[in-house]
Structure 1
Amino acid sequence: MKILAIDDNHDNLLTLKALLKIFMPEANLITSASAQDGIRRALLEAPDTILLDIQMPVMDGYEATRRLKGNPSTQHIPIILVTAHRTDPSGKVRGLECGADAFLSKPIDEAELVAQIRAMVRIKRSEDALRQERDSLEALVQKRTSELLLMNQVLTENLARLAENEARYTRAVRGTTDGLWDWNVVTGECYFSPRWKELLGFADDELENRVDTFYSRLHPDDMAVAQEALESHLSGKTSLDVELRLRNREGGYLRFRVRGQAEWDSLGAAVRLSGALSDVTERQLMEEQLRQSQKMEAVGQLAGGVAHDFNNILTVIAGYANMLMMDLPALGNEVRLAEQIAIATERAAELTKGLLAFSRKQPMAPQKLDLGEIVQRVETFLTRVIGEDIQLKTHLLPDSLPVWVDMGQIEQVLINLAANARDAMENGGTFTIATGLFEDDSLSAFCGPAGSYAVIIVSDNGKGMPAEISKRIFEPFFTTKEVGKGTGLGMAIVYGIVQQHRGYITVDSKPGDGTVFSIYLPLAADCAEMYQEPAVDQEPEMGTETILVAEDDPSVRNLVDMVLTKHGYQVILAENGQEVVERFTAHSSDIGLILMDIIMPRKNGIEAFAEIKKLQPEAKVLFTSGYTSDFIQSRGMEDGVELIMKPVQPAQLLRKVREVLER
């Protein structure tokens, strides 16, 4: 048995040679590293079958197939195209149009390889035998005319048997990745290939070859769809191509694409129906993931759109509240009212950050931190979130788990999960947080890249969730709570934050068995030291420098003017980018710092600062913005430029101003 393998990859040829040596020792493998040389070897060696790689330089497998099938000397040699795309129907259609007889997908399965080769060899030998027999018959017809009728009868019977065998082999080869079926409408006989049964989890001898086998496993809701599609096809109105759900061995339902083609007799009555069954369950899951992603993107656009104006408003409210707190007597009732305003503003700011984190547009401040220390830091606050009737337990890995994260965002994830757990344990229970190390060399765990991950496992022993709810729990605005008790954004925000940290989150829950969330964060591999939170002075330092403030929002501009003036600074105000340039030009020798919003009318902050640097390259600038990070970057924001995001507290602003001035 001669086999010609054509592949420009030497390693692939060596692998094929090793496989054939083990599984087909009788095979004589001939190799070629290019399509041109392979065509030449096919003419010289006359192999029984050809394994032909599709992707090759100069001449690909399709063109080589076309040439081989167009040459009378090689057109009868079966060609098996080898493709790297198992589920690419367009590639298979193109291969069939070029004359290919079968397909193999990389990585090559040895059993499928052997089956394909043996089938092709059988087909070729049958075809060779048929040609030889035809030649003999033609010679006999010339010599023995008297035996014409007898020989013609024998030839007709042989051709019918060969045609039937060839058709069956061809269907089997072309459908190796699908389940094949064949139904004789007249006699009622039915055939399901072993692969058909395997797709449902059964061995070949575990399901009978009867029409009832199909209908007994069909989802009741799909019965009418299947019947309508069948009747429409048999009447010649449409092709048979329909998606149906079939029950597998475990009792669950998988989604399949059922295709078929009928044969009609001379009177137009259907006599036979044959086709294939393809598992499309995974494709359906991917489509659902795409729709989920599109929903999140839409809400993300909405969140990003309102962020700027909302952050400006929060900056003003928080600023004046903090100034009242500094001016009012420490023990007075008024200062407590101002504190409540400041607290409410902080909560609103966190909500804005959460929405932006959900949309993956929240500017992050990642630091190398120990995951266990983050849990310990937020533990006291979580106790207040879950209430006194729920016990909080932590099981932290004693070893350090360094991760690059935004501490505030990870704390918000834990707070949101704690709030959900509290609602699931109406009569009290246990809320547990554990940390661990996860290392995986495959993608099986959560469809993420292999590697080392720090893991936070958050669990409760509450009422749990059915599968249909847990599948939707991360959807924006999806909530099972009654009106007024849930926004449907809490878990969506959790999902967005984890995604922004290049991590993954999974949920495992059953009714009555509680819920477990597992969060995987990439383990930090660099040698940078762990972040230590610096001590913060109670009172910002005073200053005497002149600061040019550029802000188009009058409320924010007046607040910044008041804060800076109160702490000794001289302030020059500007309302837009053009005024910034004009005022700096007029007072360049006096100005120590430019405090400037990035997005302003007439000229944005980036453009204005570019003009100022031409006048004075050493000019110092501190940018502010309430827009999302992607919006800022689209305006040409350079790396390394000082930026403080709104909403900003007066004390935080004053410290940052002092820091930039003293550099």
Structure 2
Amino acid sequence: MKLLAIDDNQDNLLTLSALLKTFLPEAQLITSQSAQDGIRRAAMEAPDAILLDIQMPGMDGFEATRRLKAAASTQHIPVILVTAHRSDSTCRVMGLECGADAFLSKPFDEAELVAQIKAMVRIKRSEDALRHERDSLEALVQRRTSQLLQANVELQQNLERLAQNEARYSRAVRGTSDGLWDWDLVSNDYYYSPRWKELLGFADDELENRPETFFDRLHPDERAEVQESLCAHFLGHTPFDQEIRLRTRGGEYLRVRCRGQAEWDGAGEPVRMSGAITDMTERQLMEEQLRQAQKMEAIGQLAGGVAHDFNNVLTVIAGYANILKMDLGTESPQHELADQISAAAERAAQLTRGLLAFSRKQAMNQQRCDLGEIVHRVEQFLGRVIGEDIQLKTETLPEPLPVQVDLAQMEQVLINLAANARDAMPGGGVFTIATGVRDGEGHGYGDPAGRCAVIIVADSGEGMDDETSRRIFEPFFTTKEVGKGTGLGMAIVYGIVQQHKGNIRVSSKPGEGTVFTIELPLAEGSAALESVLNPQSLPQTGTETILVAEDDPNVRSLVDMVLTRHGYQVILAEDGEEVVHRFAAQQDGIELVLMDIIMPRKNGIEAYAEIKKIRPKTKVIFTSGYTADFIQSRGMQEGVELIMKPVQPVELLRKVREVLER
């Protein structure tokens, strides 16, 4: 199999070459980086198919297609136009008008790439074989009067070869995934290949080879359009290539791509038409998965755009609320009000983290802990989520299940599932959380035996039908009435589990409740597990001098208050340039630098590089409210101390004390 790829971008040609070596090793690839050179190579090399990029300087893919189809030496070579816009119908129409045979979209889908190439090569070789046989028969007729005996011998030989070719063609028809059809417009005889009938659920002898077999099974809404398209094709105006629906044996409609090519007699009348139908189910599934990924990416982009400012605001709200709680004491009537403010800020922070999980932009604060302890930690406040009329049950394994997770994100997963279960049990019921271990090969997790930790979350509620179960994790999909659901809760659960390299499945039937099964990789190694149940005491005070660099004045004031109230001496800076100047002026007395990564005039990474030149062993803690990908693009390296905003005062003090005492 010989292929010619024409693309002005060398990287695209290298990518295509790599894909073909992996998924179509029998293919020989010839490349060209301009349309003019590609047309010359096509005439010289006679490839089985041409992959032609549309956007090229000088001569674009449309003009190149017209020239290829106009030349006798290249007009029978299938041309596959390559475009970056899968759904651009204008582009496809222009390509078809120029004579293109098929389309592919960048980046390439391996399965579609291989299938398109094989289909085009099959069609070309079938057409080449038919033309060859026609030419042979014409030559035979011309010699018939003078060489009758020899002509009879040669005719017999040709008949034998034709029988062999028909046998090969029959085997090819049986082996292809497409259903082939042939229509004699003069006699009105019709032929459907066994595969054509199989696609609709029938055996070869269960459908008659009549035109009505096709038209009667065509969806009523599409009959007029198909008739109009056929008439236009018979007049030579447009190719016949449509997506249609055909009724199957079970009464459902199968969406297929139906394409065909007519033949005309000397008077210009159509006498025959042949073509194929292709099952579009797999392609539709891939397109739906792409749309789902694009939705989640769009939400992640939206959340990432506001994450920095929103996290700064939440830092201030939660920080002052926690200071109020510490000042008021638990006996004060205002303590509960401050506690509510702090809890609301934390819920807002969790929502932001969940939204960022859609596109995996959330920087995770992972720790090695026991999955059972996480369940018991969440159990302490799930009662407020599900209500008093729902019974909460927890069943955890007695032995620890070590997992490497972001504790806040895993808590949000269980809270969102609990809220979903509460809405499914308006009259009360039972809500169960259990942990376990699943054995099996092929999970792809770190455990050599394929074992993984499992959380099972079940409710005895109303349940869901199959359609709802399939869409439960889609962003903005909700079964609740307007104003009572955002459609983000379960999508956030899905995003967080995926970010932890886990898997989540749902099993449900109407009236029989719902079960969610979450699989997480077991943590490798034998390091000690961090306890998530023991309450952490307020860190001790200090007397060291800390240089704080923060461009947001509200956050800067909060950090100044928190550190000063706990005995530290604080020097403030508003940007990267100022923090370097202040460190240079008072370097001997500064024990720690606490600074934001993204600041005006000079970012934190650049400022730290200059500070290390002044004193290489300077201790530093970075803070940021930006997304993980944005931070990494600024040169953030692994192993550097980083606190993600919003940060609670106690967490900040604990991290400061921890770094100072190293």
Determine if the TM-score, normalized by the shorter chain, exceeds 0.5. Answer: yes
**TM alignment of 1:436-475, pairs within 5 A:** 436-438=436-438, 441=441, 451-475=450-474
Rate the CA distance shift 1:434–1:250 in 2: closer, same or farther, 3 A. farther
Structure 1 gaps of 5+ residues are 6-51, 70-83, 104-119
Rate the CA distance shift 1:567–1:368 in 2: closer, same or farther, 3 A. closer
**TM alignment of 1:131-530, pairs within 5 A:** 148=148, 166=165, 169-170=168-169, 173=172, 176-394=176-394, 396=396, 401-438=401-438, 441=441, 451-530=450-529
Counterpart check, 1:92 vs 2:91? no
- Residue identity matched to 1:519: I
2:69 corresponds to: none
Rate the CA distance shift 1:267–1:157 in 2: closer, same or farther, 3 A. farther
Distance 1:395 1:225 in 2: 60
Q: Deviations over 1:65-115 (max 9, x none)?
A: 97999xxxxxxxxxxxxxx96862553377569x86799xxxxxxxxxxxx
Distance 1:246 1:94 in 2: 24
Distance 2:216 2:622 in 1: 69
Q: Are the aligned partners of 1:362 and 1:628 in contact in 2 as well (CA < 8 Å)?
A: yes
- Residue identity matched to 2:378: V
Distance 1:203 1:432 in 2: 49
- Residue identity matched to 1:91: I
Q: Deviations over 1:516-558 (max 9, x none)?
A: 3333323444444443348555332111111111111111111
| Offset of residue 453 of structure 1 | 3.7
Rate the CA distance shift 1:655–1:376 in 2: closer, same or farther, 3 A. closer
2:592 corresponds to: 593
Rate the CA distance shift 1:248–1:378 in 2: closer, same or farther, 3 A. farther
2:650 corresponds to: 651
Distance 1:509 1:253 in 2: 26
1:584 corresponds to: 583
| Offset of residue 498 of structure 1 | 1.3
Rate the CA distance shift 1:176–1:346 in 2: closer, same or farther, 3 A. closer
1:36 corresponds to: none
- Residue identity matched to 1:570: Q
**TM alignment of 1:26-45, pairs within 5 A:** none
Rate the CA distance shift 1:547–1:442 in 2: closer, same or farther, 3 A. closer
Rate the CA distance shift 1:231–1:531 in 2: closer, same or farther, 3 A. farther
Give the secondary-structure state (helix, strand or coil) at the position aligned to 1:181.
strand
Distance 1:190 1:368 in 2: 68
- Residue identity matched to 1:472: R
Q: Deviations over 1:441-497 (max 9, x none)?
A: 569x9xxx9954433333334333444444433232333323332222111211210
Give the secondary-structure state (helix, strand or coil) at the position aligned to 2:635.
coil
2:21 corresponds to: none
Q: Deviations over 1:111-140 (max 9, x none)?
A: xxxxxxxxx9xx9xx98xx89x969x97x9
| Offset of residue 361 of structure 1 | 1.4
Distance 1:53 1:547 in 2: 63
Counterpart check, 1:54 vs 2:26? yes
Rate the CA distance shift 1:596–1:95 in 2: closer, same or farther, 3 A. same
1:642 corresponds to: 641
- Residue identity matched to 1:88: V
2:80 corresponds to: none
Distance 1:238 1:417 in 2: 54
Give the secondary-structure state (helix, strand or coil) at the position aligned to 2:304.
helix
Distance 2:504 2:611 in 1: 47
Q: Deviations over 1:153-195 (max 9, x none)?
A: 9977996897698478547626723111122334333222122
Distance 1:220 1:464 in 2: 36
Q: Are the aligned partners of 1:370 and 1:400 in contact in 2 as well (CA < 8 Å)?
A: yes
Distance 2:46 2:449 in 1: 43
| Offset of residue 424 of structure 1 | 2.0
Q: Percent identity?
A: 62
| Offset of residue 252 of structure 1 | 4.1
Two-structure CA RMSD over aligned residues (Å): 4.0
For normalisation by structure 2, the TM-score amounts to 0.75
- Residue identity matched to 1:296: M
Rate the CA distance shift 1:643–1:428 in 2: closer, same or farther, 3 A. same
| Offset of residue 377 of structure 1 | 3.2
Give the secondary-structure state (helix, strand or coil) at the position aligned to 1:291.
helix
Of 296-305 and 503-512, the range deviating more from structure 2: 503-512
Of 385-394 and 359-368, the range deviating more from structure 2: 385-394
Q: Deviations over 1:376-434 (max 9, x none)?
A: 43234334322233333445566654432222212211211221122122223333444
Q: Are the aligned partners of 2:311 and 2:646 in contact in 1 as well (CA < 8 Å)?
A: yes
Rate the CA distance shift 1:422–1:535 in 2: closer, same or farther, 3 A. closer
- Residue identity matched to 2:476: F
Q: Are the aligned partners of 1:303 and 1:359 in contact in 2 as well (CA < 8 Å)?
A: no
- Residue identity matched to 1:624: T
| Offset of residue 353 of structure 1 | 1.8
Q: Are the aligned partners of 2:377 and 2:532 in contact in 1 as well (CA < 8 Å)?
A: no
Distance 2:309 2:168 in 1: 69
- Residue identity matched to 1:207: L
Distance 2:25 2:318 in 1: 67
Give the secondary-structure state (helix, strand or coil) at the position aligned to 2:494.
helix
Rate the CA distance shift 1:327–1:379 in 2: closer, same or farther, 3 A. closer
Distance 2:203 2:438 in 1: 36
Larger Rg: 1
Q: Are the aligned partners of 1:372 and 1:400 in contact in 2 as well (CA < 8 Å)?
A: yes
| Offset of residue 570 of structure 1 | 1.0
- Residue identity matched to 2:359: S
Q: Are the aligned partners of 2:350 and 2:409 in contact in 1 as well (CA < 8 Å)?
A: no
Q: Are the aligned partners of 2:192 and 2:209 in contact in 1 as well (CA < 8 Å)?
A: yes
Distance 1:239 1:561 in 2: 73
Distance 2:559 2:625 in 1: 15
Of 586-595 and 499-508, the range deviating more from structure 2: 499-508
1:575 corresponds to: 574
| Offset of residue 209 of structure 1 | 2.7
Rate the CA distance shift 1:428–1:188 in 2: closer, same or farther, 3 A. farther
Distance 1:53 1:427 in 2: 61
For normalisation by structure 1, the TM-score amounts to 0.74
Distance 2:283 2:113 in 1: 10
Structure 2 gaps of 5+ residues are 2-23, 32-40, 49-109
| Offset of residue 507 of structure 1 | 3.3
Q: Are the aligned partners of 2:369 and 2:532 in contact in 1 as well (CA < 8 Å)?
A: no
| Offset of residue 572 of structure 1 | 0.8
Of 645-654 and 258-267, the range deviating more from structure 2: 258-267
Rate the CA distance shift 1:67–1:288 in 2: closer, same or farther, 3 A. closer
Count of residues paired in the alignment = 562
Q: Deviations over 1:621-650 (max 9, x none)?
A: 111111111111111111111111111111
- Residue identity matched to 1:494: V
Rate the CA distance shift 1:270–1:452 in 2: closer, same or farther, 3 A. farther
Rate the CA distance shift 1:203–1:522 in 2: closer, same or farther, 3 A. farther
Distance 1:469 1:570 in 2: 58
Of 589-598 and 162-171, the range deviating more from structure 2: 162-171
Distance 1:648 1:461 in 2: 38
